Amino acid sequence: MPDTPLEAQQRIAELRAQMDELDCQLVKLLNERAAIALDIRTLKPDANLGLYDPKREEEIFANLARCNEGPLYAENLREIYEAILHVMKELRG
């Protein structure tokens, strides 16, 4: 633990810089995911599949829960991914 307010402020600045870097990585990964989602969307008609697949969404949520090591709860991840999947459905490629 920091001994002084200044040390605490410096540590906060360091942690925020790490968080900013992680946010950039998340944006990159979300854009990669979006590109793949658009590729899948273009293939679905040829595979005689509908655009929305609730079973696949449940598979995604189960996979998230399986690979989650915390501190987020499975419910937290589901809520986050519900928003992500909603956005992905709205994408125009």
Tokens of 91: 């994408």
Contacts of 88 (CB under 8 A, 6+ apart): 33, 34, 37
The 10s digit of each residue's pLDDT in 8-29 is 999 999 999 999 999 999 999 9
Task: Specify the pTM.
Answer: 0.87
The pair phi, psi for residue 75, each rounded to 5°, is -65, -35
Mean per-residue pLDDT for 41-46?
95
Domain limits of the chain?
Answer: 1-49, 52-93
Let me know how long the chain is. 93
Whether 63 and 77 have beta carbons less than 8 Å apart is answered as no
What are phi and psi for residue 2, nearest 5 degrees? -65, 145
